Structure 1
């Protein structure tokens, strides 16, 4: 997927999507995979991650909303990832099967390598 197309998908979304867009425009790396995955299984997995990050005090953005949207979507989704240039945040993108619509977006702050707390999200 071209960077410009991904920027269009992220524009006009919620705060998390706009943060991902900002990171992308600031030189973040990104990937969008061709394969699809069940939205329901992702809702379950990311629901577990939501509980984990809450228990560990890991900063997230839009995770609860992403779980809800995946659960409601009910159709296969494509995954994408944006990693900020400094590596401090990773955004996961959930796109429809064709890659033409953003279903959900979530972000997690990555622990610094020398930090006593390492996230595993």
Structure 2
């Protein structure tokens, strides 16, 4: 999917979609995969991720809303991903089967790698 088309899909969305749009415009990488997945299956998977992130105090954006929207959506969805240029956030996109409508968007802050310790021998 072309960057411009993805920007249009994200433009009229909620706070998470706008954050994904901002990351995309700032040089984030993106991909939309071929094929579809049942939305109910993804609602189950992302519901587990929601519980995991809450237990671990991992910062997310729009995850509860995405789970709810996937659960209510009765058709398969296409998956996409936007990875911020600085690696700080990864956004998952859930598009309708044709890729013409954004069903849901969620983001998760990525943990920063620990600084390397100098070797002591």
With the shorter chain as reference, the TM-score category is over 0.9
| Rg (Cα) greater in structure | 2
**Unaligned regions of 5+ residues in structure 1, if any?**
116-121
State the partner residue of 1:86. 86
State the partner residue of 2:106. 106
Q: Distance in 2 between matches of 1:103 and 1:58?
A: 23
Q: Distance in 2 between matches of 1:74 and 1:50?
A: 21
Per-residue deviation at 1:86? 0.5
C-alpha RMSD of matched pairs (Å): 0.8
Per-residue deviation at 1:34? 1.1
Q: Distance in 1 between matches of 2:102 and 2:20?
A: 12
Q: Distance in 1 between matches of 2:98 and 2:113?
A: 36
Per-residue deviation at 1:12? 1.3
Q: Distance in 2 between matches of 1:55 and 1:23?
A: 27
State the partner residue of 2:62. 62
Q: Which aligned segments of 4 or more residues in structure 1 are displaced greater than 3 angstroms?
A: none
State the partner residue of 1:72. 72
Q: Distance in 2 between matches of 1:53 and 1:75?
A: 26
Normalising by structure 2, we get a TM-score of 0.94
Number of aligned residue pairs: give it. 115
State the partner residue of 1:28. 28
